[in-house]
Amino acid sequence: MSNEQDLLSAELAQNFERYPKQVARLFHGRGRFFKGLESLVIEWYPPVLLLQCYDDCLSDTALAGVQAFFKAQPAIETVVLQTRPWPDFSSEILFSRAAEGGQLPMEFDCPLNPELQCQISLGKNRNTGAFPDMRGGWYWLRDQAANKRVLNLFSYTAIFSLYALQGGANKVVNIDMCGSATKTAKYNHELNGLLDERVSIWKKNILKSNSQIAKQSKFDIVVLDPPPFHKGSFKGWPDYQKLLRRCASYTRVGGTILAALNHQQLTFFEFERDIRATLDDVSAITKLSLSDEIKELEQDKGLKLALIRL
């Protein structure tokens, strides 16, 4: 067995033991912590294991390691490989315990934690419906949300909203421009018995909805988690700066913006510097730690979660 396969096997086993029955990232190769496996991300959507390969094909070493893990863990019913060299992707079933081998695309409900579920979609889109690397942000919001008003921008399927409501939020406004995402967001709230007067789900272009958002009462917490770039709707840092200023105007004095940025070259220090250059009145900016399974070779790079206190 190669050193790479040893590393992969050990990391998979450790994280699977942590999260045997809920959505989790089991292997984070993109953080460059595991030499030779930088193009591989593995996520667990019980009962399906999803391999995301950012190269043109999966290496023999990775394939052997995953196959051994599949054989050792009877809870895994299916292993799906998504090969995703930008901007394309393709999906296939590698292993399955089903007599007919299973079929793609798959759509099923999956536990986020012992009390929450969400809908997962595999094989149809690049994204599954959940981003497990955001677990640290989900848990922080749940712990801070009691009796709070929360604005969730670029809400996608509204996982942050589920955690805010689980933590006792009084109100959560979710906004995303994708109709299929907002439809799934509604379903996720219904699935958990959380679609009530506390929840709003808007299908809108966030950059073109400033006046409507500004009419709302001030929020205690604003979640800002935009895509790095989205043609026709989001153009990177210039739009991020615009949104930061708007988020500050939506937030009450003493409130917090949870700002996410996934940029492999930019450090947290540089992100904080740019936030302070963009916003006039900032009380403090602190770094929110990622969950333990998200290992980064350079701790200040990769996914960054900043708590901006106003």
Closest CA relative to residue 13, chosen from 56, 71, 87: 71
The overall longest dimension of the chain from CA atoms, in Å, is 61
pTM reported for the whole predicted model: 0.95
Give residue-wise pLDDT tens across range 187-226.
999 999 999 999 999 999 998 999 999 999 999 999 999 9
pLDDT in tens, 73-108: 999 999 999 998 777 889 999 999 987 777 899 999
Answer whether 172's CB lies under 8 Å from 161's CB. yes
Domains, the chain, in order of start with CATH, read 3-122 (3.30.750.80), 132-309 (3.40.50.150)
Residue 231 has pLDDT above 70, yes or no: no
**Secondary structure letter of residue 147 according to DSSP:** T
Write b or e for each residue in 152-191: b if 16 or more Cβ atoms lie within 10 A of its Cβ, otherwise e: bbbbbbbbbbbbbbbbebebbbbbbbbeebbebbbbbbeb
- The whole-number pLDDT of residue 234 equals 56
Query: Hey, which residues does 149 pair with through a beta bridge?
Result: 171
For residue 300, what pLDDT is reported? 86
pLDDT at site 88: 82
* pLDDT tens by residue, 238-279: 889 999 999 999 999 999 999 999 888 889 999 999 999 999
pLDDT score, position 98: 85
| H or E segment and range at residue 244 | helix 237-250
The model's pLDDT over 144-196, given as tens digits with 9 standing for 90+, comes to 999 999 999 999 999 999 999 999 999 999 999 999 999 999 999 999 999 99
Take residue 292 and report the two structure tokens written for it. Answer: 């333990």
